[in-house]
Structure 1
């Protein structure tokens, strides 16, 4: 069984349990009986690593108003190749 979410403009999110792959594109609201649109969410975010959850939160926070960049990022020093044969190749 999977949990599918549908959004009502008036009453918010409604969760419906159904077998995987059988979710309808619309579902009747249990309160006002209008057709609800399905909401697509990422699965199992509660079990994701903390770094992934915080990256998703930062992306959602800047979705409507992205941060302003005031300067380019600092240049990193070039990394020497580990294979001695690669040292003879031209560098960009």
Structure 2
């Protein structure tokens, strides 16, 4: 559930509360003084540390900063244009490029 920030009109400070996106209010009562605390409009915090999406995001960011360097051609299909040979006799009748 996303966290939303609220700022007290009397200067008590900021408060964060969790609401569903459909039911977030524009103002709440300040927990310190009881005055009106208005909603701040900033980015919402919906990240879940350790989730699959966050691990993928972190791995993508890490490869952008320090990509893996390949020092040799992979052993399988070394780029010489070799294609697998079929033993099916119907394939011999197909048009060739």
- TM-score when normalising by structure 2: 0.42
> In terms of Rg, which structure is larger?
2
- TM-score when normalising by structure 1: 0.44
